[in-house]
Amino acid sequence: MKIFAHSAGRRPPTARGALVSLLAMALSLFLLVHTTNAGAAQTAAPAKAYDHVYLLRGAFNIFSLGMDEIADRLQRRGVRTTVANYLSWESLADEAIAEYKSGQARAIILVGHSSGASAVAEMAARLGQHGVPVKLAIGLDPTSRMVASGHVDRYINYYIADGMGLAVVRGKQFTGVLQNIDVEKNPALNHFNIDKNRALQDRVVSEIRAAL
């Protein structure tokens, strides 16, 4: 009689065999968890697109602080804003083009005062050359005679006819709505405070909210 016979003729497991089996089980568990997590990452919802309002100050960054006030009011409503000097309009245009074409930016709005208002027209034209639309453009007393061009849905230019400001001219390829609004009859407004006037700021914010 064989006292140490084993069922079905199988040899008892060795320590090495047990270790191999344990490692195989651990590897299988790791692959299962990794595959599950990868699948979850692939089905994650894409980031929500946002609206972006660019506000351009005029010369020296000291006469157009109303742009910062408007930006603060919009930010409190959850609107993404960028405030910069008008000299930055080209780099800002490149940024807006990249954001829009990547799907990050849903709508682009431009606002500017003085030289910043003149830069609004240039930035809108640059965006139009790259097929990027502008939902709304607002100028406050631009100091250069500008031509409206690009794919702008609505362009509103507030200016003081008997002061430093100028009207915006409609370009041949411009198909949006252009409004030149002369505010010279308001004695409280001049070139250096038009951007800070609360009533006019209210109109600007209201137009932006309506566009969005």
To 10 degrees, the CA torsion angle through 114, 119, 122, 124? Answer: -100
Can you say whether the dihedral through the CA atoms of 71, 72, 73, 75 is positive or negative?
Answer: positive
CA distance 81 to 72: 9
Residue 31 has pLDDT above 80, yes or no: no
Whether 137 and 109 have beta carbons less than 8 Å apart is answered as yes
β-pairing, 105-113 vs 136-140, is parallel
Superfamily of domain 50-211: Alpha/Beta hydrolase fold, catalytic domain (3.40.50.1820)
Whether 191 and 139 have beta carbons less than 8 Å apart is answered as no
Higher pLDDT, 210 or 33: 210
pLDDT tens track for 80-122: 999 999 999 999 999 999 999 999 999 999 999 999 999 999 9
Q: Could you give phi then psi for residue 204, rounded to 5 degrees?
A: -65, -50
pLDDT tens track for 112-158: 999 999 999 999 999 999 999 999 999 999 999 999 999 999 999 99
Average pLDDT score over the chain? 86
Higher pLDDT, 15 or 148: 148
pLDDT tens track for 152-192: 999 999 999 988 999 999 999 898 999 999 999 999 999 99
- The per-residue b/e assignment along 112-133, b for 16 or more CB within 10 angstroms, e otherwise, is bbbbbbbbbbbbbbbbbeeebe
- The per-residue b/e assignment along 79-107, b for 16 or more CB within 10 angstroms, e otherwise, is bebebbbbebbeebbeebbebbeeeebeb
To 10 degrees, the CA torsion angle through 61, 116, 68, 51? Answer: -140
Q: How confident is the model at residue 15 (pLDDT cuts 50, 70, 90)?
A: low
- Burial (0-12, 13-18, 19+ Cβ within 10 Å), 169: middle
Q: How confident is the model at residue 28 (pLDDT cuts 50, 70, 90)?
A: low
Q: How confident is the model at residue 6 (pLDDT cuts 50, 70, 90)?
A: very low
- pLDDT at residue 40, rounded to an integer: 40
Q: Shortest CA distance to 151 belongs to which of 180, 130, 169? A: 130
74 by DSSP, 3-state: which? helix
Q: How confident is the model at residue 16 (pLDDT cuts 50, 70, 90)?
A: low
